[in-house]
A and B are shown apart, each in its own frame.
Chain A
Amino acid sequence: MDQGEDFVVANNLDDLVNKMNELVDNSLLNKDEIKKQIEARDRELDNLFTKDLQVTALRGSRFYRGDRLIRTAKPHKILDPKNGPLIAVKLNIISRKTLGGLQTNLSGQVLNSDGCVIKGLYAAGETAGFGGGGVHGYRALEGSFLGGCLFTGKIVGENIRTS
């Protein structure tokens, strides 16, 4: 069993890129090109101005105590060996949620294609797109999926309880 089959580790970038290519069984990655891009990014750590927005974002997030504590590493050069071995992670698309669903009114009653209530039929949770058939629209802010199950479940429950 390979515990971390999507991870590769190496002490230098050349080895890392070789291992990355091996992992996906192709030769799409070019060491020199990757090196050039990381060196350019690393150089920005000595530049108080910087136009690399990720470096700006790192500096910004260090203003937040929570990030400094457990979320954002002190900005450092990726290719400086004193920052430990290099790691690459192959990232896959991972399925999760539908944001659409059964269209419901504010009581959680399911509607038909004419927009009329189907009497006695309610929907809650992801089936109802977490409310109304798509409370998140195109994109979510996170923390709103569990919360959407709780909220729609509560609203539907209260409406049925008092009806």
Chain B
Amino acid sequence: MGFDVIVVGAGLAGLTATAEIADGGKKVLLLDQEPETSIGGQAWWSFGGLFLIDSPEQRKMGIKDSKELAYQDWMGSAGFDRLYDEDYWAKQWAEAYLDFAADEKRDWLRSLGIKFFPVVGWAERGGYLADGHGNSVPRFHIVWGTGPAIVEAFEKRIRTQIDQGLVTYLPRHRVDQLLIENGAAVGVKGSILEPSNAKRGEKSSRTVIDDFTYKSPTIVISSGGIGANFDLIRKNWPERLGSSPQNMISGVPDHVDGRMLEISEKTGARIVNRDRMWHYTEGIKNHSPVWTEHGIRILPGPSSLWFDAEGNRFQAPNFPGFDTLGTLETIMKTGYDYSWFILTQKIIEKEFALSGSEQNPDLTGKSYKRLLERLKKWSARSCSSIYGSR
């Protein structure tokens, strides 16, 4: 059986690429090492926040945004300094992405049935100068239904394309090698893993029962990052962020293993900027873990007082929600890999949101009624029920 395209990885990027390709009538083979229950990958677990510029939601909340302001903020945060090499294409992608976020993105997503929660969040507030790191205005648009709603919009398209015979989706197919001949892709080789009953996000077995080879002149690698591979994180950890943490918890499922990056590199693909990473500093352990070392990130409001392990309050602008990597660097340079919030019940009631679709059943379940109940209850609830609840 011939395929026009092979897509490696059924996370959000792979699903999007597959849906767009098959829309043109080309035949796509979609491979993933995980069982079908994990379709959508990491995106399913996300809070569903999307960066939009000058949206109707922003305008309704009295926020004045523009592409120029967003450009200033993006470049101030990115600090591209390898322009003639590793950042050559990255910066051009950033410019293209800003155009997308200001123009087409919202309409395109709405045409796929995606809607947004009316209160726009203000993430990464910066705290330096006007043209330094951070968002000058709130831009974090939460998808109504969080991560699962985004995944669902694309999964639905793909299910239809499977029915039409345009997409063949083979879970438990792990790619081990990219086949390249005379500088051109010709196919993939890999292992078929034994069937798995793992639920979404759970670790699945790596027992091989067979192998496979599929030929195609076009291959898309959409296999995700390295977030669950602590060895690789430590290996790539840049000196500028201090020493790498001895203790970490994981914000992503086990399958986010970075395998395909190495496999791609072996066949001649170039990896750039591997010293740049994004890890959070406000992780708490999940009391009902789904994956190994499962952590949840607190999305904190700005009021909690932040102390290092020795009890020294951090200097400005290391306040909650201002500069993720700046604070990571500050923490790691203390010589300890943890820090403390001290706050009051009034603060926790108003300001603690937990990142992740499963932590926010009202937003995820698209229930305004439940959301309003939560907002009302926040003032009445005891704090133990808040941090003890999901």
Chain A contacts to B: CB under 8 angstroms: 1-7, 9, 16-17, 20, 24, 28-30, 33-34, 37-38, 41, 53-54, 57-58, 61, 64-67, 69-76, 78, 83-106, 108, 110-113, 115-116, 118-158, 160-163
Contacts and interface: CB of A to CB of B under 8 A. Distances in A.
A6 B295 CA distance: 11
B185 A119 contact: yes
B303 A58 contact: yes
Contact of B249 (A92, A108, A126): A92
A36 to B, nearest CB: 10
Given A65-B62, A72-B301, A98 B225 contact: yes
Interface stretch (B41-49, B193-201, B206-214): B41-49
B185 to A, nearest CB: 4
A89 B20 contact: no
B18 interface: yes
Contacts of B226: 98
B324 A156 contact: no
A89 B311 CA distance: 13
A83 B297 CA distance: 25
Interface in B134-175: 134-135, 138-141, 147, 150
Interface string B44-72: 00101111100000000111000000000
Given A85-B383, A146-B46, A158-B20, A123 B221 contact: yes
B184 interface: yes
Contacts of A70: 119, 350, 375
A122 B268 contact: no
Interface string B108-148: 11000000000111111101000001110011110000010
A106 B123 CA distance: 28
B122 A71 contact: yes
B35 interface: no
B367 interface: no
Nearest to A136: B78
A10 B158 CA distance: 52
A91 B105 contact: no
Contacts of B275: 100
B176 interface: no
Given A75-B303, A87-B341, A137-B78, 20 more contacts: A4-B384, A4-B388, A54-B316, A64-B63, A70-B119, A71-B301, A73-B347, A76-B346, A85-B344, A89-B304, A98-B226, A102-B221, A120-B185, A127-B223, A127-B261, A132-B88, A133-B89, A136-B276, A141-B123, A146-B50
B8 to A, nearest CB: 9
A9 B297 CA distance: 19
Nearest to B332: A93
User: Chain A interface mostly helix, strand, loop or mixed?
Assistant: mixed
Contact of A144 (B97, B230, B345, B384): B97
Nearest to B343: A87
* Of A93, A155, A157, A161, most B-chain CB atoms within 10 Å: A93
Contacts of B78: 136-139
A127 B260 contact: yes
* Of B217, B260, B272, B342, most A-chain CB atoms within 10 Å: B342
A54 B302 contact: yes
* Of A9, A33, A160, most B-chain CB atoms within 10 Å: A160
Contacts of B42: 126
A85 B88 CA distance: 52
B80 interface: yes
Nearest to A30: B311
8 contacts: A53-B127, A93-B332, A94-B280, A98-B277, A127-B261, A143-B50, A146-B147, A161-B20
B23 to A, nearest CB: 7
A3 B387 contact: yes
B366 interface: no
Nearest to B16: A153
B79 A137 contact: yes
A101 B133 CA distance: 22
Contacts of B249: 92-95
A70 to B, nearest CB: 6
B249 to A, nearest CB: 5
B130 to A, nearest CB: 14
B17 A136 contact: no
A135 to B, nearest CB: 4
* Of A108, A115, A119, most B-chain CB atoms within 10 Å: A119
The 4 A-B residue pairs with the shortest CB-CB distance, nearest first, are: A157-B20, A137-B78, A125-B13, A84-B345
Given A28-B311, A123-B221, A161-B26, A95 B252 contact: yes
B38 interface: no
Contact of A121 (B269, B296, B301): B269
B122 A9 contact: no
Contacts of B268: 112-113, 118
